[in-house]
């Protein structure tokens, strides 16, 4: 059969793929075939050029990064999947077996379902809706499924460090962190198309944008394209504009209203495949940012992962005197990102044919960040100090490592949630009144029910979708 044929000779296998061409746009059609083996893959393999050189360029039939997966598999090494560096989900078929796997943090989604002896795989639950599949669930992050051997975990998040050892050279550690972050951003910008960046005006996206702009300038390229959204006068819009002016990016903005939210909520819930109240709220501005960015680029960098690596959430301040518990909590939250924040980002961007990239979740950066003492991530500080956000400062070491990249008041700006800083919270209150016809504010219970009702109206098997929802505080480590 020709390349790209969806069926496999002598095996009851069919594959389909809707491709967003980022690398190997001209010849990377999927499914990718090699003799009696066939592959579909989602995401990016950032070390594909190194793998191509090691495995022999003459063995490749395309310039697609995804082909490296198939060539590694054909090499027959026991732990071949560990050599893949990137964000990915794939299904590989031979006449004898099916192999499917997911990247270490579950940045890219992968679900598996059974019906009788048959197996089905998809990037979204809606692919199974209405077909009567049994035993539907996500392939866990860092896990490989082999139809001959079952599931095996090929990646485990390294345990985080707690207290700092005596005499630790903080400036040296901060310098190494900076190098690791710069390497991650540069790696995750690899593409055959232009890569832009979301810019909320918060620390995480601003640091990524600053390093990306520096990388483009060093390569002799034009300014980075940055994208910010919010309601009129929202703090995030104003902060993002300041960052863009400071960095010299090509900045784009979109101002949304309560009516825009009301018009988009059904779209959000359908593509998000969740009715979780917090997740829906944060998905709204992500959708608007994705729509804006897709008018200009096919891929964007985001700041996801920094809060989980460097203690950026408000509740983390409760761990200020227990660095061991904080380190364990950060490790736990990294392991749950796949069906919470990463699900939000992937679904909202891919619904707009936009690829989101998360350099803070680079495998090498995770390993280094987890080796850093949690005591330096969340630190007790003098509120009057210039290098503080209050009596305890979140992401203290990250701020210190990158303090030359942005104006001082932006580096030490206290975090606001995306849905709060963008103005979504107040606009959503108005949107909910528009949707329900209520003159009074819609309480959280009624809001949650509205999202569940929307989801149920869009799916034939809504309980199957709802059963997969992630929980923000599942198994949270107490301080």
Of 369, 373, 396, the C-alpha closest to 385 is 396
Distance, in Å, from the CA atom of 348 to the CA atom of 256, rounded to the nearest integer, reads 16
92, two tokens:
């590989």
Q: pLDDT of the chain along its 479 residues, tens only?
A: 444 556 666 667 788 877 666 666 666 677 888 888 999 999 999 999 999 999 999 888 888 899 999 999 998 898 999 999 999 999 999 999 999 999 999 999 999 999 988 999 999 999 999 999 989 999 999 999 999 999 999 999 999 999 999 999 999 999 999 999 999 999 999 988 999 999 998 999 999 999 999 999 999 999 999 999 999 999 889 999 999 999 999 999 999 999 999 999 999 999 999 999 999 999 999 999 999 999 999 999 999 999 999 999 999 999 999 999 999 999 999 999 999 999 999 999 999 999 999 999 999 999 999 999 999 999 999 998 988 999 999 999 999 999 999 999 889 887 655 556 678 889 999 999 999 999 999 999 999 999 999 999 999 999 999 999 887 777 788 77
**What is the full DSSP assignment across 352-406?**
TT-EEE-GGG-HHHHHHHHHSBHHHHSEE--TTSTT-SSSEETTHHHHHHTTTSS
The count of other CB atoms within 10 Å of the CB of residue 463 is: 9
Helix axes 277-294, 258-272, angle to 10 degrees: 100
Task: Retrieve residue 22's tokens.
Answer: 């980022």
* Tokens representing residue 16 in the block: 């389909």
Q: What is the pLDDT of residue 386?
A: 87
Residues 6 or more apart whose Cβ sits within 8 Å of residue 433: 439, 440, 441, 442
**Per-residue pLDDT at 24:** 62
Quick one: pLDDT at residue 369?
98
pLDDT of res. 111 = 97
What pLDDT shows up at residue 9? 62
Query: How far are the Cα atoms of 3, 70, 267 from residue 61, in angstroms, in the given order?
Result: 10, 11, 39
* pLDDT attached to residue 10: 64
39 touches 30 (CB < 8 A): yes
Query: Helix, strand or coil for residue 50?
Result: helix
Q: Are 111 and 42 in contact (CB under 8 A)?
A: no
The pTM of this model reads 0.93
Token look-up 């078929």 returns 93
pLDDT score for 33: 85
């Amino acid at each position: 059969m020709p390349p790209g044929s969806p069926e496999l000779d002598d095996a009851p296998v069919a594959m389909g793929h809707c491709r967003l061409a980022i690398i190997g746009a001209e010849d990377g059609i999927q499914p990718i075939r090699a003799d009696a083996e066939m592959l579909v893959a989602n995401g990016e393999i950032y070390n594909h050029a190194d793998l191509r050189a090691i495995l022999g360029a003459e063995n490749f039939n395309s310039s697609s990064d995804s082909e490296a997966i198939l060539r590694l598999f054909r090499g027959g090494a026991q732990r071949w999947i560990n050599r893949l560096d990137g964000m990915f989900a794939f299904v590989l078929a031979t006449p004898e077996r099916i192999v499917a796997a997911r990247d270490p943090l579950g940045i890219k989604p992968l679900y598996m379902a059974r019906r009788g002896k048959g197996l089905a795989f998809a990037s979204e639950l809606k692919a199974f809706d209405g077909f009567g599949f049994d035993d539907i669930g996500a392939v866990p992050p860092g896990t490989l499924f082999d139809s001959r051997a079952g599931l095996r975990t090929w990646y485990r998040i390294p345990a985080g460090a707690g207290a700092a050892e005596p005499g630790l050279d903080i400036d040296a550690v901060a310098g190494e962190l900076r190098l690791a972050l710069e390497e991650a951003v540069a790696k995750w910008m690899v593409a055959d198309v232009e890569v832009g960046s979301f810019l909320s005006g918060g620390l995480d996206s601003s640091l990524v944008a600053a390093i990306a702009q520096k990388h483009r300038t060093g390569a002799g390229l034009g300014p980075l394209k940055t994208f910010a959204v919010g309601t009129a006068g929202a703090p995030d819009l104003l902060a993002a504009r300041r960052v863009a002016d400071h960095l010299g990016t090509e900045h784009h903005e979109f101002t949304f209203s309560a009516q825009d939210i009301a018009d988009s909520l059904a779209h959000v819930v359908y593509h998000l495949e969740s009715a979780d109240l917090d997740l829906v709220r944060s998905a709204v501005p992500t959708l608007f940012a994705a729509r804006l960015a897709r008018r200009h680029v096919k891929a964007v960098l985001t700041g996801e992962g920094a809060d989980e690596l460097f203690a950026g959430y408000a509740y983390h301040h409760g761990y200020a005197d227990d660095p061991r518990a904080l380190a364990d909590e950060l490790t736990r939250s990294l392991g749950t990102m796949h069906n919470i924040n990463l699900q939000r980002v992937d679904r909202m961007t891919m619904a707009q044919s936009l690829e989101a990239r998360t350099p803070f979740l680079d495998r090498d950066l995770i390993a280094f960040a987890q080796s850093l003492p949690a005591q330096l991530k969340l630190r007790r500080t003098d509120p009057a100090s210039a290098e503080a956000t209050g009596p305890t400062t979140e992401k203290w070491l990250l701020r210190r490592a990158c303090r030359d990249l942005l104006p001082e008041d932006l580096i030490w700006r206290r975090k606001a949630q995306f849905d709060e800083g963008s103005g979504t919270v107040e606009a959503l209150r108005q949107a909910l009144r528009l949707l329900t016809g209520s003159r009074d504010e819609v309480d959280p219970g009624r809001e949650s029910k509205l999202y569940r009702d929307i989801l149920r109206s869009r799916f034939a098997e809504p309980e199957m979708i709802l059963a997969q929802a992630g929980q923000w505080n599942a198994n949270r480590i107490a301080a």
